[in-house]
């Protein structure tokens, strides 16, 4: 788990007593809204005595599962070696936990009787795309979170319900997105697709996503910066691919992009247009573990820049400030340059006038 994303979410969402979070589920914490009655995301396995809950709980509960009395609309069937969905799931069910089982397929009518479902958590199973029916999820009109991280999917599931807010498909075997996979998903704010086998993104792939905020495409096989990404994205993660550069207009249209992660790629200055990061909305830019020899030009509004483990040999203040004056100075707070060929005592004397609000510099 990358703890930076936790801080990031803390700063984006603010922390109130009504919310708690968990670090599982594909690396991005899941926020729980207690006012809505949302249950704990932590497994109950080995934490409660299932017999006790069964004794005090008058509602029907499948034998394979735990139905905690404090969350009457939640059922925990996680980590029990199941190879199919338990039968007799009650109609009232809103939160279904099925992670850590051995499920490879779900019948086309599996969710016919659970139309109130809001969360469906299927992480760490072995679901196969060819065994998932096209209409499997489409009747779940109240579904907001669908998590299928760490499975064997080769495609994005079809017929996703239009109220979906979070779709987590990290660590599957998805090679290609098809046009229309995300059609009509106007409420979707988060898609995790890291750890798949994507090579390219085609023009219509993300069509129809007007509210998308976070898109994680890290750890795929992308060798060019993808075009045609939804312009509403504020957090774009492309670490651990094979990107070599960015053109002048790679980030055109992303007027709200705040967090861009490009670490662990093959970025070189020759392939990086000098205006590539000229985007005043950027707050954090991660370019660590690349092949840069110079510090690229970044906007003065940038606050966090990660450049550790590159081949940088010179520090030129003009990367951060085109001019230095009362209001024209870099807003940089954290600058990481460790693991390069730079030495602190060789920094040009004028750097402190430009980077005047810096909290930490690592060299």
Ligand X SMILES: *[C@@H]1O[C@H](CO)[C@@H](O)[C@H](O)[C@H]1NC(C)=O
Residues found near ligand X in the complex (CB under 6 A) = 81, 87, 100-102, 104, 109-110, 112-113, 126, 128, 152, 218-219, 239-240, 264, 274-275, 278, 316, 318
Burial class for 204, CB neighbours closer than 10 Å (0-12, 13-18, 19+): middle
Q: Shortest distance, CB of residue 316 to ligand X, whole angstroms?
A: 4
For ligand X, give the closer residue by CB, 95 or 320: 320
When the beta carbons of 102 and 328 are compared against ligand X, the nearer one is 102
Cα 254-259-260 angle, rounded to 5 deg = 75
Interior angle at CA 145, CA 261 and CA 112, nearest 5: 150
Residue (240 or 303) nearer to ligand X, CB: 240
Q: Residue ranges of the alpha helices (H) in the chain?
A: 3-13, 50-56, 351-354
Greatest CA separation found in the chain?
74
The answer to whether 54 and 31 have CB atoms below 8 angstroms apart is no
Complex with ligand X: residue 127 or 185, whichever CB lies closer: 127
CA distances from 62 to 31, 59, 65, 142, 167 (A): 27, 10, 6, 22, 26
Min. distance of Cβ 322 from ligand X in angstroms? 8
Of 192 and 209, the one with the shorter C-beta distance to ligand X is 192
Terminal-to-terminal C-alpha distance of the chain? 24
Dihedral (CA of 162, 168, 173, 177) sign = positive
Q: How far is the CB of 148 from ligand X (least distance, A)?
A: 13
If the CB atoms of residues 301 and 316 are measured against ligand X, the closer one turns out to be 316
- Cα separation of 85 and 104, whole Å? 10
**Nearest distance, CB of residue 60 and ligand X, angstroms:** 12
Q: How far is the CB of 281 from ligand X (least distance, A)?
A: 11
- Tell me how far, at minimum, the Cβ of 70 lies from ligand X, in Å: 25
Can you tell me the distance from the alpha carbon of 244 to that of 320, in angstroms, rounded to the nearest whole number? Answer: 22
- Report the distance separating Cα 44 and Cα 40, nearest Å: 9
Q: Tell the smallest beta-carbon distance from residue 150 to ligand X (Å).
A: 9
Tokens of 63: 């034998």
What's CA 336's distance to the chain center, in Å? Answer: 23
Complex with ligand X: residue 118 or 150, whichever CB lies closer = 150
């Amino acid at each position: 788990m990358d703890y930076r994303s936790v801080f990031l979410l803390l700063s984006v969402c603010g922390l109130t007593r009504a919310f708690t979070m968990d670090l599982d589920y594909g690396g991005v914490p899941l926020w729980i809204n207690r006012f809505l009655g949302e249950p704990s995301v932590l497994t109950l396995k080995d934490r409660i005595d299932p017999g006790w809950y069964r004794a005090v709980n008058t509602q029907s509960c499948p034998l394979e599962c735990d139905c905690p009395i404090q969350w009457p609309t939640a059922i925990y069937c996680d980590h029990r070696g199941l190879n199919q969905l338990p039968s007799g799931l009650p109609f009232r069910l809103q939160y279904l936990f099925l992670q850590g089982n051995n499920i490879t397929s779900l019948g086309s009518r599996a969710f016919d009787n659970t139309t109130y479902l809001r969360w469906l958590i299927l992480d760490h199973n072995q679901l196969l795309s060819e065994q998932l029916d096209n209409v499997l999820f489409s009747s779940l009109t109240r579904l907001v979170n669908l998590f299928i991280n760490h499975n064997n999917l080769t495609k994005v599931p079809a017929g996703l319900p239009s109220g979906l807010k979070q779709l987590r498909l990290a660590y599957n075997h998805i090679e290609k997105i098809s046009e229309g996979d995300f059609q009509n998903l106007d409420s979707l704010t988060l898609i995790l697709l890291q750890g798949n086998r994507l090579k390219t993104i085609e023009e219509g792939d993300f069509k129809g996503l007007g509210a998308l905020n976070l898109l994680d495409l890290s750890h795929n096989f992308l060798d060019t910066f993808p075009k045609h990404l939804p312009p509403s994205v504020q957090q774009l993660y492309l670490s651990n691919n094979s990107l070599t550069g960015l053109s002048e207009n790679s980030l055109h249209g992303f007027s709200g992009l705040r967090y861009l992660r490009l670490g662990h790629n093959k970025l070189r200055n020759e392939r990086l247009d000098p205006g590539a990061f000229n985007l005043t909305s950027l707050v954090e830019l991660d370019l660590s573990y690349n092949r840069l020899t110079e510090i690229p030009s970044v906007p003065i509004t940038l606050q966090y820049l990660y450049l550790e483990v590159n081949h940088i040999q010179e520090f030129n203040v003009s990367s951060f400030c085109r001019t230095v004056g009362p209001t024209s100075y870099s807003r940089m707070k954290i600058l990481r340059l460790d693991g390069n060929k730079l030495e602190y005592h060789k920094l040009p004397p004028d750097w402190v006038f430009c980077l005047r609000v810096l909290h930490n510099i690592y060299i």
